[in-house]
Structure 1
Amino acid sequence: MNLAQTNSSIVLVVDDSPESLGMLNVTLNNAGLTVLVALNGLQALTIVERVTPDVVLMDAVMPEMDGFDTCRQLKIKLPQTPVIFMTGLTESEHVLKGFEVGGVDYVTKPIVPDEVLARIRVHCQNAKLAETAQAALDYSGQYVFCVDNQGQMQWATPNTQELVGSLTEQPELAWQQIEQQLSPWLSQSDKNAGLELQAFDPPMKAFYSGEHEGAYQLIRLVTPKKTKTAEALQEELGLTKRESQVMYWVSFGKTNWEVAQILSMSPRTVNKHLEQIFKKLGVDNRTSASAISIRVLEAE
């Protein structure tokens, strides 16, 4: 089978059977794929700390940490990477369990080479299409992630993952807390008001962005705006400390008398400061000066 479209793909094979690993290694290498192997779940988790595979072939039954537990932990680290289960267990409860922990497909043992190669090709193509869509969202400057109807994480754009990682020292714990909050929120009929995510300080807000195929929900994160102070006006407009304080309150629509009360000075002094501010900003009235100040205060 020609797998030219996936020649650059990296496949991580997780299986405690040396015989299965050997057969898959030969099959996948002959198809032009790069193969990484792990004899157990812990080895697999160690490997993905250093290398990001394009697809994972996961044995379901392994000692100590089985394939289901391994997949659950892998999906926290690599939510976009497809996991294909390999199992001799054809009972429906085991197949369903594989999907519940984040698997996208399964093949039964003994492995048929052409079948496993076809599954790898399809899921690598789908993953790359999803990656392209996520990159487009990143390019648009939106922080977006996808969950299922129970609030369980499916994928997040790279920018979203980077944002969450920059705001907390324990991003995995933060995502778990987000999932716990999302589950009851998604069951509500009215989600227009958004949801404050308590995993962050200050809280970020999540907004519902729609569903896909009735099974997945798109969520958009909105970061809280940083409130700028008078110091920003002093720095960016070349004002003195007192002038920046006066201009800060004027930009909020305060009158000279109100500014005088706030800053403990006379209205006459406020007016003198404004005269100097107008000269520095090259304007002749408080409306024009306020417009300039507001642009500074509201700039990202």
Structure 2
Amino acid sequence: MSNTPNVSSIVLVVDDSPESLGMLNAALNNAGLTVLVALSGQQALSIAERITPDVILMDAMMPGMDGFETCEKIKQQLPMTPVIFMTGLTDVEHVVRGFEVGGVDYVTKPIVAEEVMARIKVHTQNARLAISAQTALDHAGQYVICVDHQGEIEWATPHVHQLVASAKGEEAEIWHSISAQLITWLQDDPALPLTISLFEMPMHAQFGGEHQAGHSLIRLVAAESEKSPETLQQKLPITKRESEVLYWVSFGKTNWEIAQILSMSPRTVNKHLEQLFKKIDVDNRTAAAAISIRILDGGEAQPA
């Protein structure tokens, strides 16, 4: 498999060394990438205000504003853009610091062009998938929040923003309160329910699984509209057992996990899925989950 990234990728390289910039600029250009260069953190911020790169290669140690501070500021503007740190340091403390400020990876100097290309390809693809997933959730009208490994909110769908805007109080304080509650909940036990009572209607937080490395999805549902497999059976032409399988599919559970929960074999789970796919006229579990989520959130199944 080729390590060459998508030819449409825009790479921002931030390094105070003209020699390093020249080498990377030549290598990335030869790979068909569009390269933007910055000799300082401030220059990088200025570029990021005008152009959104697909990935950023960030020198960790620079005079003035170092790479860590620059990354923190850029992440405020471009939370979905992956930042790969370049460092000659082998100290674990600096590697950890890079991840803490939002970096997704690091490479050590002297830079090996092939290694950088491979990492750029992986992280640009992951970022595009993440953006696509967020866009899909936005259009689906879901109340979804993405948090980082510290519980800080990275992004939320428009419906969550509308929910916060309609609540009483300052928006900044409401967001801060939501984040604080999620941090404690995720550290304790996300399998237990969390009720957020900041809105006119209390909302329950449900853990939606890992979104990217170090990121988690949290789904909010109206507390009084929580439903069960029986709700699905009432709304859809499926059996009790099929409704139980579909219920757990909507929570992103695998066949093996559903088998453990319902005390059946993964093969039996798969057979139930095949039958309910036919009954509700869908081709895959993603489409089935979409229908299930819509019903469980208080809506109706879309007509086929």
User: Alpha-carbon deviation of 1:83?
Assistant: 0.6
Letter in 2 for 1:69: E
Q: Confirm or deny: 8 A CA contact 1:149 1:183 kept in the other structure.
A: no
User: Alpha-carbon deviation of 1:185?
Assistant: 3.1
Letter in 1 for 2:195: G
1:50 aligns with 2:50: yes
Residue in structure 2 matched with residue 192 of structure 1 by the alignment: 193
SS at match of 1:16: coil
1:21 aligns with 2:34: no
SS at match of 2:106: strand
Residue in structure 2 matched with residue 183 of structure 1 by the alignment: 183
Q: Confirm or deny: 8 A CA contact 2:11 2:35 kept in the other structure.
A: yes
User: Alpha-carbon deviation of 1:16?
Assistant: 1.1
SS at match of 1:86: strand
Q: Confirm or deny: 8 A CA contact 2:82 2:104 kept in the other structure.
A: yes
Letter in 2 for 1:127: A
| 1:161-218 CA distance string (max 9 Å, x none) | 97599779x9888755543342123334465242245xxx879956223332895431
Q: 1:149 to 1:120 in 2, by over 3 A?
A: closer
Residue in structure 2 matched with residue 104 of structure 1 by the alignment: 104
SS at match of 1:194: strand
Query: What stretches of structure 2 of length at least 5 have no aligned partner?
Result: 223-304
Q: 1:108 to 1:139 in 2, by over 3 A?
A: same
1:126 aligns with 2:126: yes
SS at match of 1:187: helix
Letter in 2 for 1:9: S
Greater C-alpha Rg = 1
**1:205-224 superposed matches below 5 A:** 205=203, 207-212=205-210, 216-221=215-220
Q: CA RMSD in A?
A: 3.5
Q: Confirm or deny: 8 A CA contact 1:3 1:32 kept in the other structure.
A: no
Q: Report the Cα distance in structure 2 between the residues aligned to 1:165 and 1:36, rounded to whole angstroms.
A: 37
Q: Confirm or deny: 8 A CA contact 2:13 2:36 kept in the other structure.
A: yes
TM-score (norm 1): 0.62
User: Alpha-carbon deviation of 1:36?
Assistant: 1.3
SS at match of 2:50: coil
1:89 aligns with 2:89: yes
User: Alpha-carbon deviation of 1:98?
Assistant: 0.8
Residue in structure 2 matched with residue 252 of structure 1 by the alignment: none
Letter in 1 for 2:193: N
User: Alpha-carbon deviation of 1:70?
Assistant: 1.2
SS at match of 1:42: helix
User: Alpha-carbon deviation of 1:41?
Assistant: 1.4
Residue in structure 1 matched with residue 73 of structure 2 by the alignment: 73
Point out the more displaced range, 159-168 or 179-188.
159-168
Q: Report the Cα distance in structure 2 between the residues aligned to 1:77 and 1:93, rounded to whole angstroms.
A: 26
Q: Report the Cα distance in structure 2 between the residues aligned to 1:37 and 1:165, rounded to whole angstroms.
A: 38
Q: 1:123 to 1:193 in 2, by over 3 A?
A: closer
Residue in structure 2 matched with residue 293 of structure 1 by the alignment: none
User: Alpha-carbon deviation of 1:131?
Assistant: 1.8
TM-score (norm 2): 0.61
Give the number of equivalent residue pairs: 221
Letter in 2 for 1:26: A
Q: Confirm or deny: 8 A CA contact 1:206 1:219 kept in the other structure.
A: no
| 1:49-108 CA distance string (max 9 Å, x none) | 221111110000011211111112222222211110000001111111111111111111
